[in-house]
């Protein structure tokens, strides 16, 4: 199976200790079957076209960082059931069909704001970059990048996708669950590009997105995604200018297909009212069509003194309100939400900034099990969906 040549390495790529192992892994991935077929991606494109017309809503949700250890039938079924429950709730609250896309079956690589982590005893370790790169345990050996993990990532994704397909039995085709992840690692994503009858697609997931840290218009990620026929999303953070957004829309949706591209805004409650209106106005006026989703999680993160993170629910709700207001004012449909959620009763997000624990670590948040960023508990996620429905 031939693959596109990889250009100069973009940001956020791991420093693999053995280039020979990387080449071997890339060759092995290129020879493996596609994780998803083109027909499933085409079905998702058709569903997203309905969302672009305002006929359906999109719920993209799931884990912050998937773990290989959780690629078991029981753990996967719990996460899948939770996604269906949230989609059913949003459907009931709004009376509109829902396109359900999980952060699932591939969310194994994480961009990090710092390349290192300092432990409480002063030990400095390489940052955890997701199970696709290294281990979460706070030891030098675990944090050593290992390219063979990409093969485990493929196998874990295949198991998850098998459970996703099994979960569709008995549900209407319109309520199918799809899989998505951030397409971060060149050495994983590139070998999994496959051909279909009229083009090429990323077979690693039904929908792939580009993160706010890797959305450089001249970088590898944008060039790679622009050549795909999958639905693609890009995270839009507070440093994105209207000019950047217009250019991204044209690059990633060169043929102006309404279902092809989603912008996932992650501006923060403090900035959404100031920044989003101009972004929406300029993209609507001069850019290619995009589907507007709101990620109210990443822009509202509070870092505690010990390095652990939390997110105030008040800020999350406020950002959703600002998102809906900005889109409605400019006659664009607020198409949906992008959330980090857990199926368990975690305590990773707090009610208001005043509730942020004074204790500088996770001790004050006893049910904090995320490998990376804070997630909403089922009750918190359900309340946020009800809030979004009321705004609509």
Of the ranges 76-90, 113-127, 324-338, which one carries the lowest mean pLDDT score?
A: 113-127
Among positive and negative, which fits the CA dihedral 385, 388, 390, 392?
negative
- Residue 290: inside a domain, yes or no? yes
- Please report which confidence band the pLDDT of residue 227 belongs to, taking 50, 70 and 90 as the band edges: very high
Calculate mean pLDDT across residues 113-119: 80
Q: Does residue 354 register a pLDDT over 70?
A: no
Phi/psi for 223 (5° steps) reads -60, -40
Q: Does residue 268 register a pLDDT over 50?
A: yes
The mean of the pLDDT values for the chain is: 92
To which residue do tokens 């290192």 refer?
Answer: 116
- Please report, for residues 310, 350, 378, the alpha-carbon distance to residue 357 in angstroms, rounded to integers and kept in the order given: 9, 9, 21
Split into its structural domains, the chain has a count of 1
Is-contact 47 262, C-beta < 8 A? no
> What pLDDT is recorded for position 20?
83
**With pLDDT > 70 as the criterion, what percentage of the chain qualifies?**
93
Calculate mean pLDDT across residues 47-64: 96
- Please report which confidence band the pLDDT of residue 120 belongs to, taking 50, 70 and 90 as the band edges: confident
This prediction's pTM: 0.93
Q: Name the region of 12 (left: φ>0; alpha: ψ -120 to 50; beta: rest).
A: left
List, for residues 20-29, the tens digit of each pLDDT value: 889 999 999 9
- The enclosing domain of 57 has a CATH number of 3.20.20.70
308 exposed, middle or buried (CB, 10 Å; 0-12, 13-18, 19+)?
A: buried
Indicate the SS3 state at residue 353: helix
Q: Does residue 199 register a pLDDT over 70?
A: yes
- Residue 381: inside a domain, yes or no? yes
> What pLDDT is recorded for position 11?
54
> What pLDDT is recorded for position 372?
86
List, for residues 139-154, the tens digit of each pLDDT value: 999 999 999 999 999 9
Q: What does the angle CA 190 – CA 340 – CA 275 come to, to the nearest 5 degrees?
A: 85
> What pLDDT is recorded for position 1?
34
Residues 6+ positions from 390 with CB-CB distance below 8 Å: none
Indicate the SS3 state at residue 49: helix
Q: Does residue 119 register a pLDDT over 60?
A: yes
**With pLDDT > 90 as the criterion, what percentage of the chain qualifies?**
81
> What pLDDT is recorded for position 70?
95
Q: Does residue 361 register a pLDDT over 80?
A: no
Q: Does residue 355 register a pLDDT over 70?
A: no
- Residue 16: inside a domain, yes or no? no
- Residue 13: inside a domain, yes or no? no
CA distance 147 to 54: 42
CA distance 132 to 136: 11
- Residue 213: inside a domain, yes or no? yes
- Residue 4: inside a domain, yes or no? no
Contacts of 163-171 spanning 24+ positions with Cβ under 8 A:
163/73, 163/76, 163/77, 163/80, 164/80, 164/102, 164/104, 164/105, 167/77, 167/80, 167/81, 167/84, 171/84
> What pLDDT is recorded for position 58?
98
Report, in angstroms and rounded to the nearest whole number, the Rg of the chain calculated over CA atoms: 20
- Residue 2: inside a domain, yes or no? no
Of the ranges 3-17, 237-251, 267-281, which one carries the lowest mean pLDDT score?
A: 3-17
Residue ranges of alpha helices (H) inside the chain are 19-31, 38-52, 73-94, 149-167, 186-189, 220-226, 242-252, 272-286, 313-329, 378-391
- Please report which confidence band the pLDDT of residue 360 belongs to, taking 50, 70 and 90 as the band edges: very low
- Please report which confidence band the pLDDT of residue 117 belongs to, taking 50, 70 and 90 as the band edges: confident
Q: Does residue 362 register a pLDDT over 70?
A: no
Residue-number span of the structural domain to which 356 is assigned: 23-391
> What pLDDT is recorded for position 116?
82
> What pLDDT is recorded for position 363?
46
Q: Does residue 7 register a pLDDT over 60?
A: no
> What pLDDT is recorded for position 352?
75
CA distance 109 to 127: 12
DSSP class of 194: E
> What pLDDT is recorded for position 97?
96
């Amino acid at each position: 199976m031939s693959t596109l040549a990889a250009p100069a390495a973009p940001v956020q790529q791991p420093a693999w200790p053995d280039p020979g192992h990387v080449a071997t892994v890339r060759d092995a991935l290129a020879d493996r079957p596609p994780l998803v077929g083109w027909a499933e991606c085409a079905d998702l494109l058709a569903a997203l076209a309905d969302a672009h017309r305002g006929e359906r809503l999109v719920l993209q949700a799931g884990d912050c960082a998937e773990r290989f250890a959780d690629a078991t039938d029981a753990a996967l079924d719990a996460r899948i059931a939770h996604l269906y429950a949230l989609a059913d709730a949003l459907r009931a609250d709004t009376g509109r069909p829902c396109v359900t896309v999980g952060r699932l079956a591939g969310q194994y690589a994480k961009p990090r704001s710092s390349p290192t982590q300092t432990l409480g005893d002063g030990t400095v370790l390489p940052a955890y970059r997701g199970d696709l790169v290294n281990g979460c345990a706070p030891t030098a050996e675990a944090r050593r990048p290992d390219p063979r993990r990409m093969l485990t990532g493929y196998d874990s994704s295949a198991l998850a996708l098998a459970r996703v397909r099994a979960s569709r039995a008995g549900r209407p085709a319109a309520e199918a669950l799809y899989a998505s992840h951030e397409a971060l690692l060149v050495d994983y994503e590139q070998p999994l590009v496959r051909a279909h009858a009229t083009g090429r697609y990323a077979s690693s997931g039904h929908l792939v997105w580009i993160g706010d840290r890797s959305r450089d218009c001249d970088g590898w990620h944008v060039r790679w995604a622009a050549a795909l026929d999958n639905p693609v999303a890009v995270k839009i953070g507070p440093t994105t200018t209207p000019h950047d957004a217009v250019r991204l829309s044209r690059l990633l949706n060169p043929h102006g297909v309404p279902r092809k591209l989603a912008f996932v805004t992650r501006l923060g409650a403090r900035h959404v009212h100031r920044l989003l209106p101009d972004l929406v106005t300029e993209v609507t006026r001069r850019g290619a069509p995009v589907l507007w989703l709101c990620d109210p999680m990443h822009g509202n993160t509070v870092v505690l003194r010990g390095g652990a993170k939390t997110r105030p629910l008040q800020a999350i709700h406020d950002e959703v309100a600002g998102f809906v207001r900005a889109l409605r004012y400019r006659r664009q449909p607020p198409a949906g939400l992008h959330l980090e959620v857990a199926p368990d009763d975690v305590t990773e997000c707090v009610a208001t900034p005043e509730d942020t624990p004074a204790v500088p670590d996770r001790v004050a948040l006893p049910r904090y099990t995320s490998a990376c960023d804070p997630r909403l508990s089922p009750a918190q996620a359900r309340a946020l969906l009800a809030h979004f429905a009321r705004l609509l």
